[in-house]
Amino acid sequence: MSKPPAALEGITVLDLSTVGPATRCARILADFGARLIKVGVPPRKLGLQTQPAYWSYSANRGLEQARIDLKDPAGKAAFLALVEKADVVLESYRPGVMKKLGLAYDDLAAVQPRVVYCSTSGFGQDGPAALQAGHDLNYLAVGGFLHTSNRRGDGGPPIPGATVADSAAGGMHAALSIFAALLRRERTGRGEYLDVCVAEGVLWLTSLYVDQYLATGASPGPGHDVLTGRYACYDVYGCSDGKWLAVGAIEGHFFANLCRALGCEQWIERQYDDAVQEEMRADFAAAIAGRPRDAWVAELAPANTCVAPVYAIDEIASDPHFQERGIFCEAVHPEHGTFRQVAPAFAGMERPEGPVEVPDWSRTNTETLLAEAGVAPDEIRRLKEEGIIG
């Protein structure tokens, strides 16, 4: 039986971002099979843009690149030629920038009515905070994520170990919205404009707590309920080798299994008794501190206790479960050689069967792409000579 086509096969995406939520979104779209064309500034303006490390964002696997000066009228015309052949345009400039360039949604829809135009920004395209600069930590702050996280030693919220706002609240948010817009286009025949607000994506991530407040007046915070550290059954405990064990035994039967394995049967009937949580936590900590982490995992994980090792990043790559599921693949870079990376990870994405060639980002496909879009050879030559493309 032949393989089914990739979910986004035949879809062309122009991505004007370099880092952050939009670039996370672009990675998702590419790994679902879209043709992804990065549109950046020409070489003479490279210092104006952040240039990620060669290995970041999956080393740009499967991506093509065009470098065009969008501020130049001829560069703008060249970009619009690409838009005529595109399905999605993804941008992450400050609100208002694309309008000043004459490249807002209405401008693009005039040449390609079917285009899905997605703007990603920290606070959305309008509202009092729309023009405020920010990064992942700022969006997690205003969306309640930091406040509901357990405190660090000085009493302040912790800095998360992953860019949750960029990747989930922004990148996945944008990708899901684009999928929905493409489906809607099948019925309407027209594209649409998407205003992806990363802070609102964080608000959705914390909506269990926000909705609780809106419905009841209760103000959730660290230690408010089981998911924010109120109970000993849902915590992280140190082991004898200095490593950590995550315990998430929320259900009663899992908790009972855990108590028996730790020799703490006295707590089985008092799992959610607030009066004894600190004593219970101390007993669990004392028991778990007596053995190395991996010894506990070997015993407890198969025993239905909801435990997992807290891996350091260098441990993840050798985990046998991840290895067997093929979540890592090899990439081959023209300059940096062969290295491993996380393979396309979401359900429905095709994982590569062999090494993946990734591009040298110092080279572009601009001339080929513009030729495909119907730009005349003489015009391409002129644009290159004048430094408008590269």
Name the pTM for this structure. Answer: 0.95
Task: Name the CATH superfamily housing domain 12-205+357-385.
Answer: Crotonobetainyl-coa:carnitine coa-transferase; domain 1 (3.40.50.10540)
**Would you write out the chain's pLDDT as a tens digit for each of its 390 residues?**
678 899 999 999 999 999 999 999 999 999 999 999 999 999 877 666 678 899 999 999 999 999 999 999 999 999 999 999 999 999 999 999 999 999 999 999 999 999 999 999 999 999 999 999 999 999 999 999 999 999 888 989 999 999 999 999 999 999 999 999 999 999 999 999 999 999 999 999 999 999 999 999 999 999 999 999 999 999 999 999 999 999 999 999 999 999 999 999 999 999 999 999 999 999 999 999 999 999 999 999 999 999 999 999 999 999 999 999 999 999 999 999 999 999 999 999 999 999 999 999 889 999 999 999 999 999 999 999 999 999
3-class DSSP state of 203:
helix
H helix or E strand, kind and range, residue 235? strand 234-238
The ranges of the chain annotated as CATH 3.30.1540.10 are 226-238+244-309
Tell me the residue type at 390: G
Closest among 93, 94, 119, 92 to 105, alpha carbons compared: 119
Q: Is the separation of the CB atoms in 3 and 147 below 8 Å?
A: no
Q: Is the separation of the CB atoms in 342 and 323 below 8 Å?
A: no
The ranges of the chain annotated as CATH 3.40.50.10540 are 12-205+357-385
d(CA 124, CA 231): 37
Q: Which CATH class is domain 226-238+244-309?
A: alpha beta
Q: Is the separation of the CB atoms in 101 and 74 below 8 Å?
A: no
Q: Point out the residues that are catalytic.
A: 135, 166
Q: Which long-range contacts (C-beta less than 8 Å, at least 24 apart) are formed by 224-227?
A: 224/148, 226/250, 226/272
Tell me the residue type at 133: A
